[in-house]
């Protein structure tokens, strides 16, 4: 496995955590305890993903980590043939244990057909300013890209999902 687009992040204990873009069907992670000179063998987070770049940030004022990524792996999808895979839905999850486990998995955007990818986030007060690329059609068509901004209350990421029959809120 050759990871691409590694995003590393310093944990509160001083170690580094990297989330990795791979073509193996999941977000992978690796840790370093020597400032990035060496890394543990990458392992799957268990979170499905195409070969798209995940985002990892600490939520200010907490030990919680926020992960934003494309929560899908479908090798039969037409975009998978070009090495990328589908880029929707765009999803978030929270970790309170330095990336060992993830909870509160939530859909931020689901463009079908279309794609949402390459997230970036800045925290301002009690809000997350989340930007990401969107595309109205499948990646294989290489259509027009645009950038979307969503302003999301930080508490939204922490709220548990409540499901009543088939409707989740």
- Give this prediction's pTM: 0.85
Instruction: Please report the pLDDT score of residue 116 as a whole number.
Output: 87
Is residue 38 in a domain? no
Instruction: Give the Å distances, CA to CA, from 149 to 109, 129, 133, 139.
Output: 11, 7, 9, 20
User: Would you say residue 28 lies in a domain?
Assistant: no
Domain assignment present for 57: yes
Position 21 scores a pLDDT of 86
Q: Tell whether omega for the bond before 113 is within 30 degrees of 0, i.e. cis.
A: yes
For every one of its 169 residues, what pLDDT tens digit does the chain have, with 9 covering 90 and above? 444 555 678 898 999 999 998 888 889 999 999 999 999 999 999 998 888 889 999 999 998 999 999 998 776 766 666 656 678 899 999 999 999 999 999 999 987 777 888 999 999 999 999 999 888 765 555 667 789 999 999 999 998 875 554 444 4
pLDDT at 134 (0 to 100): 87
Please state the domain count of the chain: 1
Residue 141 lies in a domain: yes
What's the confidence (pLDDT) of residue 166?
47
Full domain range(s) for residue 143: 52-168
**Cα–Cα distance between 136 and 109 in angstroms, integer?**
13
Let me know if residue 15 belongs to a domain. no
Q: Does residue 18 lie within any of the structural domains?
A: no
- Residue 31 lies inside a defined structural domain of this protein: no
The answer to whether position 104 is within a domain reads: yes
pLDDT at site 37: 92
């Amino acid at each position: 496995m050759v990871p691409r687009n590694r995003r590393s992040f310093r944990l509160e204990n001083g170690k580094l955590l990297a989330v990795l873009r791979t073509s193996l069907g999941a977000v992978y992670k690796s840790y370093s305890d020597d400032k990035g000179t060496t890394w543990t063998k990458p392992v799957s987070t268990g979170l499905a993903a195409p070969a798209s770049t995940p985002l990892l940030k600490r939520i200010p004022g907490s030990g919680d980590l926020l992960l934003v990524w494309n929560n899908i792996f479908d090798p039969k999808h037409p975009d998978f043939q070009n090495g990328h895979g589908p880029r929707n839905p765009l999803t978030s999850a929270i970790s309170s244990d330095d990336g060992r486990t993830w909870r509160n998995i939530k859909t931020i955007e689901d463009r079908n057909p279309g794609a949402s990818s390459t997230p970036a986030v800045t925290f301002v007060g009690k809000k997350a300013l989340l930007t990401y690329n969107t595309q109205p059609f499948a990646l294989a068509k290489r259509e027009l890209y645009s950038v979307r901004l969503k302003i999301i209350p930080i508490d939204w990421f922490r709220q548990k999902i409540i499901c009543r029959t088939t409707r989740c809120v």
